């Protein structure tokens, strides 16, 4: 788990919350419907306690604990580019999925990764064993965390997200993969 350099409090701004716990944006939306659209949004300078109050959440400490636990879960799901490269090198069997757009795929791709399509999602959901080892990646690692959470939520037990995405892969493993 990553060590946090700062703690958040009810008085912390949403900018501070998101900087300290990057998974908070996804966690707050999934659990409390905070931040996903205009009517449930917030300003980065707004205090967490005010955001909670405007959404009818009285126990801010409970929300803070939820944010922390969500970040711990995200930290456990992430795998470094070097770890994935070692999996490839040592021929560990796993499915390597790219959750970026077709346009991004055309710009840069990691050898061995498969672009996720609607048809592939159907195949995964209907025929892949739930213990299949899966590594998902995107550009910087945020969409792949969403995809990993989705798969885990559907019962897949061995899902990881490439921390830093294809950008980290290019910087740390294979500089021939273009950055964009």
Are 98 and 84 a contacting pair, CB within 8 Å? no
**pLDDT exceeds 80 at position 141:** yes
Output the pLDDT for position 4.
60
pLDDT score at 2: 52
Q: CA separation (Å) from 121 to 14, 107, 113, 118?
A: 34, 22, 14, 5
CATH topology of domain 80-172: Oxidized Rhodanese; domain 1 (3.40.250)
Other CB atoms within 10 A of residue 98 CB? 24
Please determine, for residue 36, whether its predicted confidence score (pLDDT) is greater than 80.
no
Task: With a cut of 90, say whether residue 105 has pLDDT above it.
Answer: yes
Give the separation between CA 178 and CA 51, rounded to whole angstroms.
Answer: 40
Report how far apart, in Å, the C-alpha atoms of 115 and of each of 45, 54, 111, 136 are: 38, 40, 11, 10
- Kindly state the average pLDDT of the residues 26-38: 87
Domain with CATH 3.40.250.10 in the chain: 80-172
b vs e for 159-169, b when ≥16 Cβ sit within 10 Å of the residue's Cβ?
bbbbbbbbbbb
Give catalytic status of residue 138 as yes or no: yes
- Mean residue pLDDT of the chain comes to 94
- Provide the pLDDT for residue 1: 44
pTM of the model: 0.78
């Amino acid at each position: 788990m990553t060590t946090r350099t700062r703690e958040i409090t009810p008085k912390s701004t949403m900018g501070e919350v998101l900087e300290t716990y990057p998974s908070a944006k996804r966690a707050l939306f999934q659990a409390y419907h905070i931040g996903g659209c205009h009517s449930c949004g917030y300003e980065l300078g707004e205090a967490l306690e005010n955001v909670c109050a405007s959404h009818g959440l009285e126990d801010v400490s409970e929300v803070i604990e939820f944010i922390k636990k969500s970040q711990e879960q995200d930290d456990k799901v992430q795998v470094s580019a070097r770890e994935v490269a070692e999996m490839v090198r040592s021929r560990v069997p796993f499915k390597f999925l790219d959750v970026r757009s077709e346009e991004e795929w055309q710009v840069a791709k990691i050898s061995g990764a498969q672009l996720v399509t609607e048809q592939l999602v159907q195949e995964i959901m209907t025929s892949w064993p739930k213990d299949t080892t899966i590594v998902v990646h995107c550009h910087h690692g945020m969409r792949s965390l969403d995809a990993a959470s989705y798969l885990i939520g559907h019962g897949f037990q061995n899902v990881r997200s490439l921390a830093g995405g294809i950008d980290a892969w290019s910087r740390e493993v294979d500089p021939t993969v273009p950055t964009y």
